[in-house]
Amino acid sequence: MFEFPKDYSFVINSAPTVLSRAGGLATRHGDVLTPAFMPVGTQGTVKGVTPEQLVEIGPQMILGNTYHLSLRPGDELVASMGGLHRFMAWDGPILTDSGGFQVHSLAAMRKVTDEGVSFRSHIDGSLCFLSPERSMEIQKNLGADIAMAFDECPPGRLGRPELETSVARTTKWLIRCRNFPLGEHQGLFAINQGGTFIDLRRRHLSEILEIDAKIPFQGFAIGGLSVGEPKEEMDALLSEFVKELPADKPRYLMGVGAPEDILFGIEQGVDLFDCVSPTREARHGRLVTSLGKINIKNAAHKNSDAPIDPNCRCYACRTFSRAYLHHLFKAGELLGLTLNTIHNLSYTVGLTQAARAAILNGTLPEFAQATRQLWQTEEIK
């Protein structure tokens, strides 16, 4: 039985002689056994599913987004409603993105300076400003269990000189975030940047650790990957760099959610993952399974009485056929999108849970090999 300490903390429950880790993160709103995948609830909802359905799916922590929730409905309104947990009826832990990714994704609508980011709202075009202090204030109002430091997330192919300027700015912003008083139950994660330049990653990590030595962070994230760089470069960086992050704090790989990338990250010692891809792909009929990926829109599934995945016990797989899900998608029925989402999230969350069990049993290499072999199974796509 895994025992959590009473205070906010992270402990490792697996052998220190291997890179992969099984650990546990204790928060006021519940405990998180790692490795774990966190579904993204950008605007206070994980798209397509209810909180009750999420409980059955089994994620232990979900995400909210500082940028989006501050614009609509507004962080002060959420605070007046008792915080994001009560507002969206989710009792488990919540991590909030700082808004830094929007610095990357809304490039055409913003201006970045050392003070912060000026941008036009994507909702009504009004002028807004997001600084490290404002990001922390929003996350404090939302009541997140884990707040992310405000960073500048650069595109994947940014040149070295521009990337160095961006990383230096992220360090300055990190100091300002660390100096902002959050709620007593809230932890703060630092975000490491540096693209695929490992020397720049190491330099930035040393700067983060200097700040950490004065006022400790509760975790460390790797940002700025899966943003346009070749997958081979991301994997090479992770295989060298993850093990250099502090071993006594959770390691969070931001924005990475493909099953093959999650499994690789776990093998390198990553503890936490998040991504919109399981829910987004579900809405397009693209499903992840233990036998590889399928597209439920394809005519090959029109007459199939098989479940999405014979090895999955989620509500969608134990109840409905591929033919029914194919019909729902073609008919434009919203239930189809919900069932697809239930499955994709169940498979992704289940993958991290199965990997944790394998780590504790000392069989992760065998588990990883068997999982990858199944993904290569010849099947109707």
Which of the residues are catalytic? 97, 274
d(CA 184, CA 23): 23
Residue 2: count of CB within 10 angstroms of its CB:
11
CA torsion through residues 64, 93, 139, 273, sign: negative
Task: List the structure tokens of 215.
Answer: 């006022």
Residue 35 corresponds to which tokens in the numbers above? 């490795």
Cβ atoms 227, 156 nearer than 8 A: yes
Is residue 288 classed exposed, middle or buried when 0-12, 13-18 and 19+ CB atoms within 10 A define those classes?
A: buried
Closest Cα to residue 241, out of 210, 195, 275? Answer: 195
Tell me 40's DSSP state: B
* CA 339 – CA 291 distance, rounded (Å): 18
Alpha helices in the chain (DSSP H): 51-57, 66-71, 75-80, 84-88, 100-105, 132-142, 160-178, 198-214, 231-241, 259-268, 277-283, 315-319, 322-331, 334-361, 364-375
- Cα-Cα-Cα-Cα dihedral sign, residues 92, 96, 101, 107: positive
Residue 242 DSSP code: G
Residue 252 pairs in a beta bridge with 221, 272
How far is the C-alpha of 79 from the C-alpha of 87, rounded, in Å?
Answer: 9
Distance (Å, rounded) from C-alpha 36 to C-alpha 23? 10
Distance CA 367, CA 358 (A): 7
Rounding to the nearest 10 degrees, give the CA dihedral for residues 44, 173, 177, 194.
70
